Amino acid sequence: MDRGTPGLTTVLEQHKPVGGEPPNILRTLLAVQQAFGSVSSEAVRDIAQVLEVTEADVAGVLSYYPDLRREAPSRHVIRICMGESCIANHCDRLLRGLRERLRIEVGETTPGRRYRLEQVFCMGNCAVGPTLAIDEDLYGRVAVSRLDHLLDRYR
């Protein structure tokens, strides 16, 4: 995502404020991340320039939202739900199972960037928890015994 790559310029062009409209930093960051997988330092600089805000404004929004990333994404993202309903259904056992299998902690990525482990405070799937999401796929009533089989499907 070098400065001046046509891709980034095109994305930013669509978010340039027109006709006195206020700039929307979050929306621009989401669009950049959707296009490139993450938001680089270069992109922060370019976004600031196009939206006519400071780099600190952009960096402040970037660091605030948990779903915005600075580093390149891993191949698969595993999100474990730590909402109260899943906690009540003992998702801590599931978390332990994942940490043992992946040998990483929450917020870390496995060597080789195959899996990243994240926790989420509720995915609205409370009635069929414990809940695990791998990439876009949501799984309910996940028992530890299912973990190996599930992980096998995402190599």
Partner 1 sequence: MTPPSKAGERWDRSGVALSSGSPVRLYLPNDTSSRAAGAAQLAEAWADHPDVQLIRTSSRGAFSLEPMVERDTSDGRMAWFGVAQDDLPRIKSGIGGMPVDAIPFLSRQTRCTFANFGVTQPLALDEYQSHGGLKGLEAALAMAPAAIIEEIKVSRLRGRGGAAFPSWNKWHIARETEADHKYIVVNADEGDAGTYCDRMIMEGDPFRLLEGILICARAIGADRTFIYCRHEYPAAAWSIRTAIEKADEAGLLDLDGEQFPIEVVSGAGAYVCGEETALLESIEGRRGDVRAKPPYPAVSGLYGRPTVVSNVLTFAIVPAILSRGGAWHASMGTEYSRGTVVLQLGGRVKQPGIVEVPFGLTLRDVLERFGGGMAPGSRLKAVQVGGPLGSLFPESKLDIPICYEAFSQAGAILGHGGIVVYDHEMDMLDLAHHFMTFAATESCGKCTPCRVGSLRSRELLERIQIGQGTPADVELLFDLGETMKTASLCAFGGRAPYPVLTAIEHFPAEFQRLRNEEI
The binding site for partner 1 (CB under 8 A) comprises: 22-30, 33-34, 37, 57, 60-61, 64-69, 82-90, 120-129, 131, 136-141
Would you say the C-alpha torsion 126, 132, 138, 141 has a positive or negative sign?
Answer: negative
Closest approach, Cβ 47 to partner 1, in A, equals 11
Closest approach, Cβ 12 to partner 1, in A, equals 14
When the beta carbons of 14 and 34 are compared against partner 1, the nearer one is 34
Closest approach, Cβ 67 to partner 1, in A, equals 4
What span, in angstroms and rounded, lies between the C-alpha atoms of 59 and 11?
18
Coil, strand or helix: which one is 77?
A: strand
Closest approach, Cβ 84 to partner 1, in A, equals 4
What span, in angstroms and rounded, lies between the C-alpha atoms of 63 and 74?
19
When the beta carbons of 17 and 45 are compared against partner 1, the nearer one is 17
Report the candidate in 47, 42, 19 with the shortest Cα–Cα distance to residue 31: 47
CA angle 106, 110, 111 (to 5 degrees): 145
When the beta carbons of 97 and 129 are compared against partner 1, the nearer one is 129
When the beta carbons of 2 and 21 are compared against partner 1, the nearer one is 21
